[in-house]
Amino acid sequence: MSPSTDRRRIKLKPSRGTLARYGDRIVEVLGEARGKRVMIRSIHADGTERRTAVKLANLLPLDGQLF
């Protein structure tokens, strides 16, 4: 991990309803999936809502400012 992307990763499984950052999106955690994955809900650029299972290691906590 480069110093510019050195952010604190989410280490514990977040509770349902937690907001987190996944890539360039703000997502809502829906619950636990298999293994070290969680289900998230996100809104994509085309306006569609998608539910996806992602690795917990790829979620980042939100910074102090949302927008």
Predicted pLDDT of residue 66: 61
Please give the model's pTM, rounded to 2 decimal places: 0.75
Q: What is the dihedral of CA 17, 48, 7, 54, to 10 degrees?
A: 70
Domain range annotation of the chain: 3-61
What is the chain's pLDDT, residue by residue, as a tens digit (67 residues)?
444 454 566 667 888 999 999 998 999 999 999 988 999 999 988 999 999 999 999 999 887 766 6
Specify the 3-state DSSP secondary structure of 4: helix
| Cβ atoms 38, 50 nearer than 8 A | no
Q: How would you classify residue 45: left for phi > 0, otherwise alpha for psi between -120 and 50, otherwise beta?
A: alpha
